[in-house]
Structure 1
Amino acid sequence: MKLLVRQHLQGMKERGELDVLLPQLLSELGYEIVHHPRVGGRQAGVDVAAVGPDPDADGTRSILLFVIKSGDVGRADWDGTLQAVRPSLGEVLDDYIPNRLPHQYRDLPVAICVCMGGEIQEGIRAQWRGFVERQSTEMLNFREWNGDRLANLILSGILGKELLDPDHRSHFQKAIALVSEPEESYRNFRALLDALAENIGNDQRGTTHLRQMMICLWVLVGNGLDADNFEAPYRACELAVLHAWDALRRCPESAKSRHAERKEILDHVLSLYFKVGQKFMLEKIGPHAAQQHALSAAVRSRSALDVNLALFETMGRAALLGLWHHYIGCSTEGERQREHLKTRNRLLDLAISMVNVNPTLLAPMRDDHHIEIGLLMLLAQGCGRLQHVDHYLREVANRLLFRYVRRSHWVTHYTDYRQLARHPLDLGDEYFQQSTCGSVLVPFMLAGLERLGASEELSALLEVVSGELPHMTQQVWVPSDQTDDCIWRSGETIGFGIPLATRDSDGIGVSLSAEIDAIVSEQQQINQMKAVQHGLVPLLMTACRHHRIPLPPHFWFQPIGKSV
Structure 2
Amino acid sequence: MKLVISEYLRTLKERDELDRLLPDLLLEMGYVPVARPQTGNRQYGVDIAARGKNKETKVDELLLLVVKQGDIGRSEWDSGNQSVRQSINEIFDVSSKSNLEPQDKERSIRIVVATGGDLKQTVQENWKGFVSNNQDKACIEFWGADVIATLIEKYLLDEHIFLDDDRRDLRRALALSGDSEYDRQDLHRLFMRTLDLNDNGELLDKLKTGKALLKALRIVNLSAQAFAHWTLRDDGDTRQGLFAVEQALLWSWHRIQLADEKTRNDAIAGPFGAMWWGYYRFAAQYFARIQPYCFVENSLTRFASNGVEASLITFEQIGILASIALFLGFHPASTEEEKNSFFNDAGEVINALEALLNNNGVSSSPCLDRHSQDITLALFALFGMGRLETAKEWLHKLFRNVDYAYKAKKFIPIATDSLDDLVEEGGWLGGQATDRMMEMSWTLATIAGWSVILGMDDLYEVLAENVKDAYPNVCIQIWHPEKDLYQYLYFQTAHFDSGATEAPIHLPPTAAEYRKQMNMIRESDFGKILFDSPAAKEQLIGLDLIAYRHFQTPIPPSVWYSLLNNVAI
TM-score, L = length of structure 2: 0.89
Identify if the C-alpha distance between structure 1 residues 358 and 509 changes in structure 2 by more than 3 Å, giving closer, same or farther: closer
Q: 2:265 aligns with which of 239, 254, 259?
A: 259
Aligned to 1:75: 74
Aligned to 2:156: 158
> What amino acid is the match of 1:124?
V
Q: CA deviation at 1:480?
A: 1.9
Aligned to 2:146: 148
In the alignment of these two chains, the number of paired residues is: 553
More moved, 442-451 vs 220-229: 220-229
Aligned to 1:450: 452
Partner SS state of residue 7, structure 1? helix
Partners of 2:460 and 2:511 within 8 A in 1: no
2:213 pairs with 1:206? yes
C-alpha deviations, 1:510-560, integer Å up to 9, x for none? Answer: 933322321221121121121123332221111110000011012225334
More moved, 199-208 vs 309-318: 199-208
Partner SS state of residue 183, structure 1? coil
Map 1:321-360 to 2 at 5 A. Answer: 321-328=324-331, 333-360=335-362
Q: 1:421 aligns with which of 423, 435, 450?
A: 423
Partner SS state of residue 367, structure 1? coil
CA distance in 1, matches of 2:375, 2:365: 11
Map 1:534-553 to 2 at 5 A. Answer: 534-553=538-557
Q: 1:289 aligns with which of 290, 294, 302?
A: 294
> What amino acid is the match of 2:498?
G
C-alpha deviations, 1:40-88, integer Å up to 9, x for none? Answer: 2111211112223325x52323222112222232222221222111111
Partner SS state of residue 498, structure 1? strand
C-alpha deviations, 1:377-436, integer Å up to 9, x for none? Answer: 111221222222212112211221211121112121111333333333899xx9834323
Map 1:18-417 to 2 at 5 A. Answer: 18-55=18-55, 58-137=57-136, 140-184=138-182, 186-198=184-196, 201-227=208-234, 229-255=237-263, 259-281=265-287, 283-297=288-302, 300-328=303-331, 333-417=335-419
RMSD: 2.9
Q: CA deviation at 1:364?
A: 0.8
Partner SS state of residue 127, structure 1? helix
CA distance in 2, matches of 1:192, 1:125: 40
Identify if the C-alpha distance between structure 1 residues 53 and 420 changes in structure 2 by more than 3 Å, giving closer, same or farther: farther
Aligned to 1:561: 566
CA distance in 1, matches of 2:297, 2:142: 54
Q: CA deviation at 1:455?
A: 4.3
Q: CA deviation at 1:503?
A: 4.4
Q: CA deviation at 1:24?
A: 0.9
Identify if the C-alpha distance between structure 1 residues 478 and 216 changes in structure 2 by more than 3 Å, giving closer, same or farther: same
Partners of 2:413 and 2:426 within 8 A in 1: no
Partner SS state of residue 219, structure 2? helix
Partners of 1:450 and 1:513 within 8 A in 2: yes
Partners of 2:322 and 2:377 within 8 A in 1: yes
> What amino acid is the match of 1:342?
N
Partners of 2:409 and 2:427 within 8 A in 1: no
C-alpha deviations, 1:490-513, integer Å up to 9, x for none? Answer: 333332223246449x99999333
Q: CA deviation at 1:160?
A: 2.7
Partner SS state of residue 66, structure 1? strand
Identical amino acids, percent of aligned pairs: 23
CA distance in 2, matches of 1:453, 1:510: 10
Partner SS state of residue 151, structure 1? helix
C-alpha deviations, 1:339-393, integer Å up to 9, x for none? Answer: 2222222222222222222111111111111111111211122122222221211
More moved, 331-340 vs 352-361: 331-340
Aligned to 1:462: 464
Partners of 1:433 and 1:472 within 8 A in 2: no
C-alpha deviations, 1:114-133, integer Å up to 9, x for none? Answer: 22223323332222222222
TM-score, L = length of structure 1: 0.90
Aligned to 2:7: 7
Partners of 1:244 and 1:265 within 8 A in 2: no
CA distance in 1, matches of 2:151, 2:247: 26
Structure 1 residues not aligned, in runs of 5+: none
Partners of 1:175 and 1:185 within 8 A in 2: no
Aligned to 1:496: 499
More moved, 315-324 vs 332-341: 332-341
Identify if the C-alpha distance between structure 1 residues 236 and 543 changes in structure 2 by more than 3 Å, giving closer, same or farther: same
Partners of 1:244 and 1:262 within 8 A in 2: no
> What amino acid is the match of 1:235?
F
Identify if the C-alpha distance between structure 1 residues 560 and 552 changes in structure 2 by more than 3 Å, giving closer, same or farther: same
C-alpha deviations, 1:279-320, integer Å up to 9, x for none? Answer: 332x333223232222221xx221211110110011111111
CA distance in 1, matches of 2:403, 2:427: 20
Identify if the C-alpha distance between structure 1 residues 73 and 516 changes in structure 2 by more than 3 Å, giving closer, same or farther: same
> What amino acid is the match of 1:209?
A
Aligned to 2:477: 475
Q: CA deviation at 1:247?
A: 3.9
CA distance in 1, matches of 2:107, 2:179: 51
Partners of 1:230 and 1:276 within 8 A in 2: no
> What amino acid is the match of 1:125?
Q
CA distance in 2, matches of 1:526, 1:242: 17
CA distance in 1, matches of 2:69, 2:566: 51
Q: CA deviation at 1:102?
A: 2.2
CA distance in 2, matches of 1:561, 1:179: 44
